[in-house]
């Protein structure tokens, strides 16, 4: 009997950690960092600092957005409207990046720092786990959220540094404009995934 009371919270935390790690494997998080670092010849240490910083910011903003969605969803709007807003936000950002890439100077050799902001764009991935964690009280929600932020931070660092070593030579051949288009495509595919 007591095992179910222990097993469910542990499962919620474990799946939250797995989600945070798997979520940071998505190319829209590490592609801009790797591209920026490789094109601008940023050393591995600084790339690590950038990925840790952006991983933390993404985890924090995603957690805050998710908490806001849960609060607004519970008290004001049905989930349907929140989902539509998420889709429209992704499409808007993708279109902005495409337009920016289209007017980008062909002689520009580097990827702008603004592209790194794509790695920070929050998404409400943790909403279902917050809803589950509420059962155990607000303190447990905070524990799940902090775990999500920590694992997101460390995961982006591990993925970025690990992939940087593996695909360093291949990604150097990609132009900044093509990276912009790739990131936009990934954002649009994410929006389509949310629709389906």
Cβ contact 140:6 at 8 Å: no
- In this prediction, residue 183 carries a pLDDT of 65
**Which has more pLDDT, 157 or 19?**
157
- In this prediction, residue 109 carries a pLDDT of 47
Among 26-30, 99-103, 134-138, the range of highest mean pLDDT:
134-138
pTM score, two decimals? 0.71
Cα–Cα nearest to 134, from 51, 66, 191: 66
Whether the pLDDT of residue 121 is over 70: the answer is yes
- In this prediction, residue 108 carries a pLDDT of 52
Q: Read off the pLDDT of residues 54-94 as tens digits, 9 standing for 90 and up.
A: 999 999 999 998 898 888 877 777 667 766 776 777 687 77
pLDDT band with cut points at 50, 70 and 90 for residue 196: low
**Which has more pLDDT, 50 or 101?**
50
Q: Read off the pLDDT of residues 150-173 as tens digits, 9 standing for 90 and up.
A: 999 999 999 998 887 776 656 556
Helix axes 138-171, 44-75, angle to 10 degrees: 140
Cβ contact 177:44 at 8 Å: no
Helix axes 27-39, 44-75, angle to 10 degrees: 150
Question: Reduced to 3 states, what is the DSSP secondary structure of residue 137?
Answer: coil
Cβ contact 104:179 at 8 Å: no
């Amino acid at each position: 009997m007591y095992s179910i009371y222990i097993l469910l919270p542990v499962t919620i935390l474990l799946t939250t950690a797995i989600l945070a790690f798997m979520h940071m494997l998505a190319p829209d998080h590490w592609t801009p960092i790797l591209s920026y670092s490789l094109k601008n010849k940023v050393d591995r240490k600084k790339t690590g600092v950038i990925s840790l910083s952006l991983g933390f910011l993404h985890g924090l903003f995603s957690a805050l957005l998710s908490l806001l969605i849960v609060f607004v969803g519970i008290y004001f709007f049905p989930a349907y409207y929140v989902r539509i807003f998420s889709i429209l936000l992704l499409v808007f950002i993708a279109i902005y990046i495409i337009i920016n890439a289209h007017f980008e100077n062909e002689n520009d050799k580097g990827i702008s720092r603004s592209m790194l902001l794509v790695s920070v764009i929050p998404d409400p991935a943790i909403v279902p786990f917050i809803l589950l964690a509420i059962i155990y009280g607000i303190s447990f929600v905070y524990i799940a959220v902090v775990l999500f932020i920590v694992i997101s931070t460390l995961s982006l660092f591990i993925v970025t540094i690990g992939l940087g070593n593996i695909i360093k030579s291949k990604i150097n051949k990609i132009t900044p404009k093509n990276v912009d288009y790739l990131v936009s495509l990934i954002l649009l595919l994410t929006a389509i995934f949310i629709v389906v």
